[in-house]
């Protein structure tokens, strides 16, 4: 299962999907992927930055939504304080 997490004042909100089932044409999984992609685009438009996270590896910045990523974390816009 893949998951997209958006950091917010609630901790984080998450949406998950099964990339394999989506690739095999499962409608429910495809709908979950589309919803995750929509959230990704909305948050990017608000200035958030997305990172691909994998256990044992350093985070990698994502410019585009990747449905095959195991975990994506979106961080709100940052500024110098």
Partner 1 sequence: MGLSLSETVLLGLALLAAGGLWLIVHQPRWLAQCFGAAENLTAADRLAAEDRANQLLRQLLHPDEYERMMQRGYLEVSSPTIPGRSYRIPYPQGLVDVFDHGIATLRLCVVPTRWVPDHDLMIMHKLFIEGDEARYLRVANQFPAGTARLVSPMARKVDAFHQSDKRFVDEPVICND
On whether the CB atoms of residues 66 and 80 are closer than 8 A, the answer is no
Kindly state whether residue 80 participates in binding partner 1, applying the rule CB under 8 A: yes
Binding span for partner 1 by CB under 8 A among 2-10, 15-23, 31-39: 2-10
| CB closer to partner 1 out of 12 and 35 | 12
Q: Whose CA is closest to 72, among 47, 37, 22? A: 37
Show the tokens assigned to 46: 């608000």
Kindly state whether residue 64 participates in binding partner 1, applying the rule CB under 8 A: no
Kindly state whether residue 47 participates in binding partner 1, applying the rule CB under 8 A: yes
Binding test (CB under 8 A) with partner 1, winner from 41, 60, 68, 70: 60
Judge residue 27's burial from the number of C-beta atoms within 10 Å of its C-beta, 0-12 exposed, 13-18 middle, 19 or more buried: exposed
Write down how long the chain is: 81
**Could you list the residues that contact partner 1 (CB under 8 A)?**
5, 7-12, 47, 49, 51-53, 58-61, 73, 75-81
């Amino acid at each position: 299962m893949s998951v997209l997490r958006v950091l917010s004042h609630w901790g984080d909100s998450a949406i998950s999907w099964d990339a394999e089932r989506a690739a095999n044409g499962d409608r429910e999984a495809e709908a979950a992927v589309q919803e995750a992609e929509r959230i990704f685009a909305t948050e990017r438009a608000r200035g958030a930055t997305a990172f691909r996270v994998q256990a044992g590896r350093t985070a990698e910045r994502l410019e585009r939504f990747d449905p095959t990523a195991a975990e994506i974390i979106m961080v709100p816009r940052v500024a110098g304080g």
